[in-house]
Structure 1
Amino acid sequence: MKRTERSGFTLVELLVVIAIIGVLVGLLLPAVQAAREAARRMSCSNNFKQLGLAMHNYHSAYNQLPVQGSGTFRPDTQAGSGPNDFPGHNQRSLSALVGLTPFFEQQGLWETISNPYDKDQDPSTTGDVWQAMGPGTWVREFPPWATDIAMLRCPSDPGRGLPALGRTNYGVNVGDAIHYTEWGYWRFGNNAWLQDQLANAKAGCRGFFVQRHHCKFRDVLDGLSNTIAMGEMVTDLGDRDSRTHININNGWFPDGVRGHANVCDDDLDPQRPQFWANGVTLEGGDTRRRGFRWANSNIAFTCVNFMRSPNAPLCFGGGWSSTGQASVASRHQGGAHVLMGDGAVKFITDSIEAGDPNDSSVFNGSTAHPAGSESPYGLIGALGTRASREITEEF
């Protein structure tokens, strides 16, 4: 009688095949993750290129850059404490990104912002219309302020939704110093313009953009290809990340952040140096975090400066509406993107030369670094200033 043999795998062979497949998957997965991050990083770079093109088209149309800190202002209406603060105006709090919207294919959003807006969309009711250019940028009920614009988001940043309004991962460069960078060339108090503050603003506002000032390409004496126009940021995820949650506990000068760019480093968790230690005084407002208001011109939301290398701690001398050390940062490995004045996008690494982080910044009246001084923050500081005439090498 002829025996028939059954074909198939033995248990040992099957286990060997499963083990081999497991090893191959384990080897392949990091490569897949790296490829995905490379694609996200390329998409982020393309977003920046589009912003650079929008910036140049804006300048071509208006012969100036969009103003960081534009909008409406009425001195006869001062702040309250609710959603109708500053009725009839927005306290000149709009970011340069607002002015760029029609130049990066957000014409519909711009039309909503630049025209009066009926709150309940019912024309039969009166007295419920926000003025053109919108209310204060913290008013969530105004739809444009709460809109997430895809081109302002880096795909590598997972931050989404509440408590933020519309998020942004891209901010304008306000220089290598901090004195008066939150005010720029304008300050109002006691129903009068404080013109005597202009000397402080001229000394400290050394970036590509200046708050509430009409900047132009011709102002960039160091050359557009040698000066950073905008930089990447990360948005807050609800943790104590030192790059997104503002440290407000260190004051100004001489022992605060204007005297030492790295003054907040002592507040980092030694076990997790990217996070603040427990007990450190941080900004408490839910929407007062890095990148949480795309339309707001405050330093925390839409500005970067260049006192330190990428991914350094966010260190302010006061609360969220003040100013401080606000480096570029990203979820990419080892650095962050920047947009140069000529429209080129570059990736600067965490190891870029940044001078002495324990040094004070340039400001009016300083004995160490008076107005007009060379940046004390090395290559990164030189790239962040528009007209300090530093010599920068390729980076």
Structure 2
Amino acid sequence: MFPSRKRGFTLIELLVVIAIIAVLVALLLPAVQSAREAARRAQCVNNIKQMALAMHNYHDTNGCFPFALIQANDKYSCYTGILPFLEQAPLFAAYNTNVGPRHVANTTTSSTKVQAYLCPSMTLPYSKPDVANNDYLAPTSYATSNGNAYANLYSGRHLYGEPKGVIIGASTTNSGDTTSPLTTVACPPINVSAITDGSSNTVFIGEQDYALKNDFFGSTTTRAGQLRGGQGVWAHGYPRGLNFSTWGKFNLHTINDDVTSEENGIYSFRSQHPGGVNFAFSDGSIRFLKESVAKSIYRALSTRAGGEVVSADSY
């Protein structure tokens, strides 16, 4: 009898097997990435839901929604105020509300990352801390809506028009237009009864991606030429920080540097989720606004008492 011979793979067969595996990986990888993004988006939705509920718990306790910013010495933001309702009572207790978030007394508190304020789809903006430029302050992925008035102090332009949203500043620097003298206007506290457009028709929290693709730092000690974080830190309630207007384009990941444009300096609600942005409405519901939404609809959804009629299928 002839001795048996062990048969192995030929080179051709091995290459075929490798090719098949490569094809399978190529087919499965997008599905895996899609599943991961779906999980991240679900976590983002949960974050905004928790924040919306915290806003309402604050309302039930205080009779109104929190101001986006207590502006006397920039002491604290609405996100500071709702910390106790996000199981962050010790962090709130450690925050000195008599001074601002950049004060040495609040350095540790303001630099503490709060997971409920961070969308997992977004990459944190700071590569390394730059204390001289306040980059030790912890970021947030979410901004409140002050309505559809022009609302960013940038390149010599100023807020004009009364803030018509739900989460607004305690006062605002208002000129009525872009040329009139500036005056400080006190804003009333907003409660549910003030939302006559209907709480299910009015947004009050949306996403803000950290870095704008064309907004760079200048000659800083550690981050020259790096992207700004959009000033999105949870302890600050500035218009460009975490209190946005729907005046500008929606889901725009760049900043308009044209000083002759009405949209100069506007920071847009924006996200890293494909196709749109998660929003919390004033009734606590969470909806995904498509980036194709008409500007008129986008602006109408941000007013609490504008009288606009918006159908659910329009966004």
TM-score range, shorter chain: 0.7 to 0.9
Q: Aligned partners of 2:144 and 2:301: how far apart in 1? A: 13
**Partner residue in 2 for 1:146:** 111
**Partner residue in 2 for 1:222:** 197
Structure 2 residue corresponding to 1:101, chosen from 70, 83, 86: 83
Q: Aligned partners of 1:327 and 1:94: how far apart in 2? A: 22
**Partner residue in 2 for 1:48:** 48
C-alpha displacement at 1:110, in angstroms?
0.6
**Partner residue in 2 for 1:353:** 294
Question: Is the deviation greater in 149-158 or in 3-12?
Answer: 3-12
Unpaired runs of at least 5, structure 1 = 74-90, 114-131, 183-199, 248-283, 355-377
**Partner residue in 2 for 1:300:** 240
Q: Aligned partners of 1:286 and 1:61: how far apart in 2? A: 42
Change in CA separation of 1:92 and 1:393 when aligned onto 2, cut-off 3 Å: same
**Partner residue in 2 for 1:392:** 310
**Partner residue in 2 for 1:21:** 21
Q: Aligned partners of 1:139 and 1:290: how far apart in 2? A: 20
Tell me the SS of whatever aligns to 2:280: strand
Change in CA separation of 1:22 and 1:351 when aligned onto 2, cut-off 3 Å: same
C-alpha displacement at 1:311, in angstroms?
1.9
Counterpart code for 2:93: E
Q: Aligned partners of 1:46 and 1:158: how far apart in 2? A: 18
What are the residue-to-residue correspondences of 1:108-257 with 2, within 5 Å? 108-113=90-95, 132-133=96-97, 135-139=99-103, 142-161=107-126, 162-163=129-130, 164=135, 165-178=137-150, 203-212=161-170, 213=187, 214-236=189-211, 241-242=213-214, 245=215
Q: Aligned partners of 2:144 and 2:97: how far apart in 1? A: 20
Counterpart code for 1:227: T
**Partner residue in 1 for 2:176:** none
**Are 1:208 and 1:385, in contact at CA under 8 Å, matched by a contact in 2?**
yes
Q: Aligned partners of 1:211 and 1:317: how far apart in 2? A: 26
**Are 1:304 and 1:327, in contact at CA under 8 Å, matched by a contact in 2?**
yes
**Partner residue in 2 for 1:341:** 282
Which 4+ runs in 1 deviate beyond 6 A?
Answer: 284-288
Q: Does 1:381 align with 2:311?
A: no
Deviations 1:27-74 (A, max 9, x none): 111111111011101110110000111111111111111122227x4x
C-alpha displacement at 1:288, in angstroms?
6.5
TM-score, normalization by structure 1:
0.63
Counterpart code for 1:345: I
**Are 1:309 and 1:352, in contact at CA under 8 Å, matched by a contact in 2?**
no
Tell me the SS of whatever aligns to 2:148: coil
C-alpha displacement at 1:324, in angstroms?
4.8
Change in CA separation of 1:54 and 1:217 when aligned onto 2, cut-off 3 Å: same
Change in CA separation of 1:54 and 1:316 when aligned onto 2, cut-off 3 Å: farther
**Partner residue in 1 for 2:183:** none
Counterpart code for 1:208: V
Aligned residues: 272
**Partner residue in 2 for 1:33:** 33
TM-score, normalization by structure 2:
0.79
Q: Aligned partners of 1:5 and 1:285: how far apart in 2? A: 67
Counterpart code for 2:268: S
Change in CA separation of 1:291 and 1:4 when aligned onto 2, cut-off 3 Å: same
Q: Aligned partners of 2:62 and 2:195: how far apart in 1? A: 17
Q: Aligned partners of 1:317 and 1:139: how far apart in 2? A: 34
Q: Aligned partners of 1:172 and 1:209: how far apart in 2? A: 6
Deviations 1:221-269 (A, max 9, x none): 1010000011110112xxx614xx389xxxxxxxxxxxxxxxxxxxxxx
RMSD: 2.6
Counterpart code for 2:300: A
Counterpart code for 1:387: A
C-alpha displacement at 1:2, in angstroms?
2.2
Counterpart code for 2:247: M
Change in CA separation of 1:351 and 1:56 when aligned onto 2, cut-off 3 Å: same
Change in CA separation of 1:316 and 1:112 when aligned onto 2, cut-off 3 Å: farther
Q: Aligned partners of 2:167 and 2:241: how far apart in 1? A: 15
Q: Aligned partners of 1:234 and 1:107: how far apart in 2? A: 27
Tell me the SS of whatever aligns to 2:13: helix
Q: Aligned partners of 1:299 and 1:204: how far apart in 2? A: 13
**Partner residue in 2 for 1:119:** none
Unpaired runs of at least 5, structure 2 = 154-158, 171-186, 218-223
Q: Aligned partners of 1:221 and 1:60: how far apart in 2? A: 18
